[in-house]
C-alpha cells in the first residue's frame, strides 16, 4: 500500500493557558492518500481550520506528529516550513485573498513566483489556468471588476499554478450564493481528477460533503467514530 501523503498521529492542539486553555484538537489521527479529495466537515469551532493550519505548516501541534508531502512538520524550522508551503502546498480561502492592485493574471503569477518559477513560465501557467477556470477573457481585470465566483476561480488558479502536491481550502464557498457555490465545487472536483492534486476542504456546509471521495467528520476536536471511512463519490 502506498504511503499516505498526509499523516497526523495523536495530534492535540490547545489555545490559551491554565484554566482558560481550550483544547481544539484532541489526540486526532488521520491519513490522507495522494489524489484524494477529502472533505473535513463539522460545526463552527470543532477544530476544522486548526487541522488545516497544521497540515499547511501554519501552526504546530502541542503533541503528536504531522507529516505531509514527505516533510516532518512537527519540529521543522521556520525556513523549512516556508519552503514546504512554497513548494508543496496551495491555499484557497473563503474571502479569496487577492491583491486588489493586481489583475487576475498578475495575482496568479504572484502565487507562482513565490515557488521560484521564472517569469516566462509563470506567465504561461497563469494564462493556461485562467483559461481552464473559464476566465481567459478576464485576465486583465482587477478583483473589484470580478464577481465573487470569478474571484474564487482566480484564487483556485493561483493555488494550482505552482503545481503543488496538496491543496488546502478553508470554506471555499462560504462567501458565495448557492448557484455560484455549485459551479465552484464542480470546478474543484474536475481539477482534482485532472491534476491528481490532493484536495483537503474544510466546511460546515453539508452540501459540500457530497462532492468528495471521503468525509472526515469532526466534533469537539475528535473524529466522529466511523466518519473517516464514510463519504459518497462525487457525481
- Residue 22 β-bridge partners: 15
Give the residue extent of every domain in the chain.
6-98+164-229
Q: Angle at CA 153, nearest 5°, toward 206 and 46?
A: 30
231 Cα distance to chain centroid: 18
- What is d(CA 140, CA 18) in angstroms, rounded to the nearest whole number? 52
0.85 exceeded by the pTM?
yes
Domain 6-98+164-229 classified CATH 3.40.50.1950?
no
Mean pLDDT by 10 residues, the chain (235 residues): 87 86 92 95 87 95 96 94 93 91 95 80 92 94 95 94 93 86 90 94 81 89 62 39
Other C-beta atoms within 10 Å of 198: how many?
23
Model pLDDT, residue 225: 55
Amino acid at each position: 500500500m502506498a504511503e499516505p501523503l498526509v499523516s497526523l498521529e495523536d495530534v492535540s492542539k490547545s489555545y490559551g493557558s491554565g484554566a482558560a486553555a481550550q483544547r481544539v484538537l484532541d489526540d486526532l489521527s488521520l491519513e490522507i492518500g495522494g489524489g484524494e479529495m477529502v472533505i473535513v466537515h463539522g460545526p463552527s469551532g470543532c477544530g476544522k481550520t486548526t487541522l488545516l493550519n497544521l497540515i499547511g505548516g501554519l501552526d504546530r501541534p502541542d503533541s503528536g506528529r504531522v507529516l505531509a508531502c514527505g516533510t516532518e512538520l512537527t519540529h521543522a524550522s521556520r525556513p523549512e516550513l516556508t519552503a514546504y508551503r512554497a513548494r508543496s502546498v496551495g491555499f484557497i480561502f473563503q474571502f479569496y485573498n487577492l491583491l486588489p492592485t493586481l489583475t487576475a493574471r498578475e495575482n496568479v503569477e504572484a502565487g507562482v513566483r513565490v515557488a521560484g518559477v521564472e517569469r516566462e513560465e509563470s506567465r504561461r501557467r497563469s494564462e493556461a489556468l485562467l483559461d481552464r477556470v473559464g476566465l481567459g477573457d478576464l485576465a486583465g481585470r482587477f478583483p473589484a471588476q470580478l464577481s465573487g465566483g470569478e474571484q474564487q476561480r482566480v484564487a483556485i488558479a493561483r493555488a494550482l499554478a505552482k503545481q503543488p502536491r496538496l491543496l488546502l481550502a478553508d470554506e471555499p464557498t462560504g462567501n458565495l450564493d448557492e448557484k455560484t457555490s455549485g459551479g465552484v465545487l464542480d470546478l474543484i472536483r474536475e481539477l482534482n481528477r485532472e491534476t491528481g492534486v490532493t484536495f483537503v476542504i474544510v466546511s460546515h456546509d453539508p452540501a459540500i460533503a457530497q462532492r468528495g471521495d471521503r468525509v472526515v467528520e469532526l466534533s469537539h476536536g475528535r473524529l466522529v467514530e466511523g466518519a473517516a471511512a464514510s463519504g459518497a463519490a462525487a457525481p
